[in-house]
């Protein structure tokens, strides 16, 4: 019933904006200040320019069209055209995306960005064909670490803690292996959940901590950097199929070009947000990553046994 109402609400919003056949709707749950939103604005500008105004993108930020999961489901059903979702959440719709959510798979940020620009990334973006959506591009979402009202110096500090995760089975498994209690909560409800004690902590990048004001209720950010999971912009297969070959080319080109700009914005924004967080009283804790890496190593070992995941893991490790 809730999903039905969300779909009706989304449709009502789109009708109110007078969306035309050549206008693509793009929803996301981030703030206007986020690097992701700014990247999507650049993509929309490039699409309009390349198509001489014949193809445009209307962006709906701040969860106007529902939570990330709600929006992903609406893309799959064709209720909305596009959405930017967490890379970990994407595995709920296509298991191949689980690879990107594996903890400590990427050696460092340059390694992750090399993958995002690679042929392997393009192959992964198309792996969901036949399931209602495909990926257009990955977006940088930095490194993910734990934050709470106390420092997380080792896995032992997570024992018994209710830690918010997106709706990602892989991320839930990771938190549970580290000794915490994985607790799925929609991104736009994390602040209240932290404030009211529904959860004891969360994990995300620095910019999400600060931009979503989680830093007001969680003053310790422990930099274990357990994941580097790129966000992904997805498009409904129905909508993709309705575009001409030229329009598809324009959209793919604009998405790829916007990634390069989004990376630059990400770096500047993340540095700014870390400084802002420090001024707001957040303590950034350097931790020994080895115990965290050792605790979750079985996840990568197990994933390598999966014939669908193993080739991607091999390609990423070889980059």
Domains of the chain: 20-93+110-138+229-269 (3.40.190.170), 141-226+276-316 (3.40.190.170)
Comparing 1 with 157, the larger pLDDT belongs to 157
19 pLDDT higher than 70: no
Q: How confident is the model at residue 18 (pLDDT cuts 50, 70, 90)?
A: very low
Rounded to an integer, what distance in angstroms lies between the CA atom of residue 99 and that of residue 259? 20
Give residue-wise pLDDT tens across range 47-96.
Answer: 999 999 999 999 999 999 999 999 999 999 999 999 999 888 899 999 99
51 close to 250: Cβ distance less than 8 angstroms:
yes
Share of the chain above pLDDT 70, in %: 93
Rounded mean pLDDT, 204-210: 94
Q: How far is CA 18 from CA 14, 15, 24, 142, 200, in A?
A: 7, 5, 12, 35, 43
At a CB cut-off of 8 Å and minimum separation 6, what does 114 contact? Answer: 319
Q: How confident is the model at residue 15 (pLDDT cuts 50, 70, 90)?
A: low
Average pLDDT, the chain: 93
pLDDT at 9: 57
Give residue-wise pLDDT tens across range 112-129.
Answer: 999 999 999 999 999 999
195 pLDDT higher than 50: yes
139 close to 233: Cβ distance less than 8 angstroms:
yes
272 pLDDT higher than 80: yes
22 pLDDT higher than 60: yes
Give residue-wise pLDDT tens across range 239-257.
Answer: 999 999 999 999 999 999 9
pLDDT at 166: 84
At a CB cut-off of 8 Å and minimum separation 6, what does 33 contact? Answer: 211, 269
Share of the chain above pLDDT 90, in %: 88
Q: How confident is the model at residue 21 (pLDDT cuts 50, 70, 90)?
A: low
Rounded mean pLDDT, 158-173: 92
Q: How confident is the model at residue 2 (pLDDT cuts 50, 70, 90)?
A: low
At a CB cut-off of 8 Å and minimum separation 6, what does 235 contact? Answer: 24, 75, 81, 82, 133, 134, 135, 136, 251
Whose tokens are 């977006």? That residue is 139
pLDDT at 168: 82
**What is the pTM assigned to this prediction?**
0.85
């Amino acid at each position: 019933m809730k999903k039905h109402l969300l779909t009706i609400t989304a449709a009502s919003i789109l009708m109110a904006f007078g969306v035309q056949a050549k206008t693509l709707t793009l929803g996301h749950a981030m703030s206007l200040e986020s690097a992701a939103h700014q990247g999507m604005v650049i993509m929309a500008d490039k699409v309009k320019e390349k198509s001489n105004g014949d193809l445009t993108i209307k962006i709906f930020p701040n969860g106007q069209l529902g939570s990330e999961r709600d929006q992903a489901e609406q893309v799959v059903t064709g209720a909305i055209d596009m959405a930017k979702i967490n890379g970990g959440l994407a595995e709920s719709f296509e298991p191949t995306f689980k690879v990107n959510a594996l903890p400590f798979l990427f050696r460092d940020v340059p390694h992750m960005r090399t993958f995002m620009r690679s042929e392997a990334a393009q192959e992964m973006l198309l792996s969901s064909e036949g399931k209602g959506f495909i990926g257009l591009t990955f977006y940088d979402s930095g490194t993910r670490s734990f934050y709470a009202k106390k420092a997380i110096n080792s896995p032992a500090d997570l024992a018994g803690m209710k830690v918010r995760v997106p709706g990602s089975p892989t991320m839930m498994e990771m938190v549970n292996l580290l000794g915490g209690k994985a607790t799925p909560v929609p991104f736009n409800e994390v602040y209240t959940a932290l404030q009211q004690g529904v959860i004891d902590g969360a994990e995300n990048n620095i910019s999400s901590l600060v931009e979503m004001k989680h830093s007001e209720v969680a003053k310790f950010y422990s930099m274990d950097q357990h994941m580097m999971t790129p966000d992904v912009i997805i498009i409904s297969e129905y909508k993709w199929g309705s575009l001409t070959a030229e329009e598809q080319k324009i959209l793919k080109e604009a998405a790829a070009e916007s990634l390069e700009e989004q990376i630059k914005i990400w770096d500047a924004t993340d540095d700014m947000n870390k400084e802002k967080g420090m001024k707001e009283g957040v303590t950034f804790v350097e931790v020994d990553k080895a115990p965290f890496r050792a605790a979750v190593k079985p996840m990568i070992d197990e994933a390598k046994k999966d014939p669908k995941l193993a080739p991607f893991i091999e390609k990423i490790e070889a980059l």
